[in-house]
Chains A and B, each alone.
Chain A
Amino acid sequence: MKETIQTLFITSLIIMTFSSCEKPNQTDLTINFTHTVDAEELTTNSMIYSNSAGENYDVRTLKYLISDITLYAENGNEIILSDIHFIDISDESTFSFTVEDFPNNNYTSISYKMGLDTIKNTNNLHINESYHSAMAWPETNGGGYHYMKLEGAYNNDSTFYNTHTGGTMGGDYSFNNVDNISLTIDDDLGNVSININMEINNWYNSPNQIDFSSYGMGIMMNMMMQMDIKMNGITDVFSVDITK
């Protein structure tokens, strides 16, 4: 009898040890940044695209900042996933980030801001971040950071466009996107991904048709252009989907 009790005790100890190794209800949440032109995955350095003004173009550089990425739950909880995330098309490691062991909840929407709002966009504020030198904007022109550098050639391979956006001279052209989602994290889903896609051609098409031959070069100090691009951005540049 004594032996039986001992065996039982040891067995239950082993079971407890093993089961405590398993993390119950673990789900890792990955945010991916994807890029398309006319709904096809972006191919860089290839003049295969055309905007609504009928100009052919390629994409050689794409660097941008997304801020305040926040997930909202049905019960009112909010989780900030990233304060500022820098994406550089030449560096795959910037295309995603993962939050491990994401809390259970019914998530109903996600919001994310293109660029930096005035509070986040002051001179040298992000001086020790990897994007500081690539995105800084001269102090004499208002300081802070570019939101986006989208560059390439258009029409032929020796005329260039530089779509640089950002809040110059104190202007704030950042904009918030809110997308409804239906994501219930209540058990071990493994890895769930929320994909934030930038449809590059839509920066130039609607409601404002933007042609490179008129506005291709320097637009940072052109407030009208910054507004036009912002309006296009709000309209249909970003979209969200979920993969489980």
Chain B
Amino acid sequence: MKQLICCLLATILLLSCKKEGCTDDNALNYNPEAEVNNGSCQYYDVTPYNFITPAGFPDMIIPENNPTTLEGIALGEKLFNDPILSSNNTLSCVDCHIKNSSFSDPNQLSIGIDGFLGNRNASTLINLGWNSSFNWDGSAKTLEEQAFEPVTNTLEMHNTWENVENTLNSNSEYLSLFKQSFNINYIDSVHIVKAIAQYERSLVSANSKFDEFYRGEESLTLSELNGYAIYNSEQGDCFHCHGTLLFTDNLFHNNGLDSEEPFSDIGLAEVSNNPLDNGKFKTPTLRNIEYSAPYMHDGRFATLEEVVTHYNEGGHYSSTVDPLMKKLGIGLQLTNQDLADLVNFLKTLSDKEFISEE
């Protein structure tokens, strides 16, 4: 018995000589030099971000392995605005996805770090949490998957993920932010795209004049109402592709832009390998369309007037043109006043608060 007490005392004495601190490497304040855990460990604690579903919107689908948190969104926003992702530290996501343009590029095509032009107009980045595929050709199925692409694209950021990881892991601020957001000690590409995707999901725009009208808080002018009626009739027939309060069907169509085949850009067919998909592109949302000029996948139209004129003329025949373009060769035969009203209606989809808020 005496021996036992001696042993215990000796152990306690020995222990007390050792350095105290947090010995759990899962904790935020893990101290690798500490030998005795003194109960000071602080654990990963994130603040869930609760989306409020706008009136008339479906529930947002958020991947189970990337729940949205305030910490993740803030980190994603920092990465989105930081040229650190590009190989020569000159180009960030926001340079081609500019907030005043509803996070699209006012230039027809965007210029990458080596001075080369891309081949499609940079898409608007709003309400992406309700999209079921990404990029004009639907090449990415999730936002996380999409974010992998521009970093290594030679026409865009022209970087390697190995280089991005090395750069970020030698940056103490990013090390600390990734630790806070994801509880990781080594920053990898998977968590970089997760943070960016969280930030992009938070870009919800649903407070336009039209939303106020939908909620019964605002009225539309006679011109806007006439434009809305044309939009929703089979005369204008905009709603079959740009329907619901998301103003997109999330599908792909050939809307009669070109008659010459093969098309210079085959769109969806590049991903599906199905020639019947030649010239089909993803329907963009029409929310904030006033801000996101130029228009179409190749930015060929500078103004909304040019866009409605294209549809009013009926579009061009090609072998994959959508059957919804049923006034091909005939045209919608809208009057100039109708066309002006349609544009006025489209401008009610502008969310000024979203564009201007800091």
Task: List residues of chain A with CB under 8 Å of any chain B CB.
Answer: 45, 60-61, 124, 127-128, 132-134, 136, 138, 140-141, 151-153, 157-162, 216-218, 220-221
Contacts and interface: CB of A to CB of B under 8 A. Distances in A.
B56 interface: yes
A133 B250 contact: yes
A45 B277 CA distance: 12
B136 interface: no
Contact of B323 (A127, A133, A151): A151
A159 B328 contact: yes
Contacts of A158: 317, 321, 328-329
B187 interface: no
A127 B232 CA distance: 19
Contacts of A61: 323
B324 A151 contact: yes
Contact of A140 (B229, B319, B321): B229
B234 A221 contact: yes
Nearest to B321: A158
Contacts of A160: 323-326, 328
Interface in B302-358: 317, 319, 321, 323-329
B205 interface: no
Given A133-B251, A216-B326, 12 more contacts: A124-B56, A127-B58, A138-B243, A140-B232, A141-B232, A157-B319, A160-B323, A160-B325, A162-B234, A162-B323, A162-B326, A221-B233
B59 interface: yes
A128 B57 CA distance: 9
Nearest to A146: B240
Nearest to A141: B232
B248 interface: yes
A160 to B, nearest CB: 4
Contacts of A157: 319
B239 interface: yes
A138 B233 CA distance: 9
Main secondary structure of the interface of B (DSSP, over half): loop
Given A128-B59, A153-B323, A159-B328, A133 B243 contact: yes
B222 interface: no
Nearest to A58: B323
Contacts of A132: 58, 244
A10 B244 CA distance: 65
A134 B243 CA distance: 8
B321 A152 contact: no
A217 B240 CA distance: 13
A217 B229 CA distance: 18
A61 B243 CA distance: 17
Count class of interface residues, chain B: 20 to 34
B56 A133 contact: no
A218 B237 contact: yes
Interface in B4-24: none
Contacts of B56: 124, 127
Contacts of A138: 232, 239, 243
Contacts of B328: 158-160
Nearest to A127: B58
Contacts of B317: 158
Contacts of A216: 326
B82 interface: no
A60 B58 CA distance: 28
A218 B59 CA distance: 31
A216 to B, nearest CB: 7
B276 interface: yes
20 contacts: A61-B323, A128-B58, A133-B243, A133-B250, A133-B251, A134-B251, A136-B243, A138-B232, A138-B243, A140-B229, A140-B232, A151-B324, A152-B323, A157-B319, A158-B321, A159-B326, A162-B324, A218-B235, A221-B233, A221-B234
Give the 7 A-B CB pairs with smallest separation, nearest first. A218-B234, A151-B323, A160-B323, A138-B232, A160-B326, A158-B317, A127-B58
B59 A133 contact: no
Contacts of A153: 323
A140 B231 CA distance: 11
Contacts of A218: 233-235, 237, 326
Contacts of A124: 56
Given A61-B323, A159-B328, A162-B323, A134 B234 contact: no
Nearest to A154: B323
A140 B236 CA distance: 14
B226 to A, nearest CB: 12
A237 B232 CA distance: 30
B249 A134 contact: yes
Contact of B244 (A133, A141, A151): A133
B326 A217 contact: yes
B103 interface: no
Nearest to B234: A218
B205 to A, nearest CB: 18
B225 to A, nearest CB: 10
B178 interface: no
Nearest to B256: A158
A95 B128 CA distance: 29
A138 B324 CA distance: 16
Contacts of B281: none
A117 to B, nearest CB: 22
B286 to A, nearest CB: 13
Nearest to B228: A140
A145 B328 CA distance: 26
B329 A217 contact: no
A138 B56 CA distance: 12
